[in-house]
Amino acid sequence: MSEIGPEGFQRLRDIRAHEPNRIGEMHAARRRRDVLQGDGRLFIVAADHPARGALAVGSDPTAMADRYVLLERLAVALRHPGVDGVLGTPDIIDDLAALGLLDDKIVVGSMNRGGLRGASFEMDDRYTAYDVPTMVAQGIDFAKTLVRVNLEDAGTAATLQATADAVTHAAAAGLPIMLEPFMSRWKDGRLVNDLSTDAVVLSIAIAAGLGADSSYTWMKLPVVDDMERVMAATTMPTLLLGGDAGADPDETFAAWEGALALPGVRGLTVGRTLLYPPDGDVAGAIDTAARLVHGDIPAIV
């Protein structure tokens, strides 16, 4: 698997060292598209995990540590005609822009990455990556936030306030923003998300009310039991998140397929499950997910 190769990575390093201004120029020159076009569905590949210190995939604690491997896998994904875009922090998005991989793709900027995995302050999930003015200036198409709500941790309050401000500012700028809510709790020193149906419904109710203007708000929700009741909790356009790798791929794809058929679901946002599949076949995993979202799509050439 070599979509970029040594020469491409050498150009990337040279741009970063000698011509950093070119990254901004390449953002400005990027061919953009409407967020929703064609069949009105989206398949976004996510790669914002490393900035929160989340490098593990399955049983490999450092699977996402090699940036070159991650970029190669993202290049495989972005080459597929059924992949509509990519979600990442500025370092990832700038790399992809410098490599010329973002034309005609939706670019989603990840905003709050300060709640580092395993940190004592993980619930104080500060906005340490993209902000709305920078995304507007660079032509980023979409914003994304993580909204974990822990009723027993005061760090939640600051995160909710920051998220409300981000929603308000994004709406004022006409920038779509997707919220990824969870009810979370501390368990044996780790923060875990409650994936029960009731908890997901509660998280939606809390997140949907954030900000002074909800007109540009989307949801990014896990696939859990009784997705009909989950989707009945919101009128906002929703993308399904893929969850952690390690589950049986056939079961995972089947669950996505069922949830994708529900009213209000507009597509998928998936990262590690597809970029690091158990059998190593990134192109095959991406193709399967793309066809779940879009149905028949052109063959890769």
Q: What is the pLDDT of residue 38?
A: 85
CA–CA gap between residue 145 and residue 128 (Å, rounded) = 11
For residue 265, the one-letter residue type is V
E strand intervals along 4-112: 42-46, 85-88, 106-110
Q: Does the pLDDT at position 234 exceed 90?
A: yes
Neighbours of 240 (CB within 10 A): 26
pLDDT (tens digit per residue) in 56-75: 988 889 989 999 999 999 99
Q: Sorting pLDDT into bands at 50, 70 and 90, what band is 30?
A: very high
User: Which of 95, 87, 152 has the alpha carbon at shortest distance from 113?
Assistant: 87
CA–CA gap between residue 54 and residue 51 (Å, rounded) = 7
pLDDT (tens digit per residue) in 113-133: 999 999 999 999 999 999 999
Average pLDDT over residues 276-288: 92
Q: Does the pLDDT at position 276 exceed 70?
A: yes
CA–CA gap between residue 112 and residue 260 (Å, rounded) = 27
Q: What percent of the chain has pLDDT over 70?
A: 96
User: Which of 56, 59, 186 has the alpha carbon at shortest distance from 122?
Assistant: 186
Q: What is the pLDDT of residue 301?
A: 39
Q: Does the pLDDT at position 244 exceed 80?
A: no
Please, are residues 197 and 224 in contact by the beta-carbon 8 Å criterion?
yes
Q: Does the pLDDT at position 245 exceed 70?
A: no
Question: What dotted CATH number matches 5-294?
Answer: 3.20.20.70
For residue 133, the one-letter residue type is P
Pairing of β 190-194 and β 177-187: antiparallel
For the chain, which residues make up each domain, given as ranges?
5-294
Q: Does the pLDDT at position 17 exceed 80?
A: yes
Q: What is the pLDDT of residue 247?
A: 63
Q: Does the pLDDT at position 299 exceed 90?
A: no
Mapping DSSP to helix (H, G, I), strand (E, B) and coil, where does residue 177 land?
strand
Between residues 301 and 264, the one the model is more confident about: 264
Q: Does the pLDDT at position 284 exceed 90?
A: yes
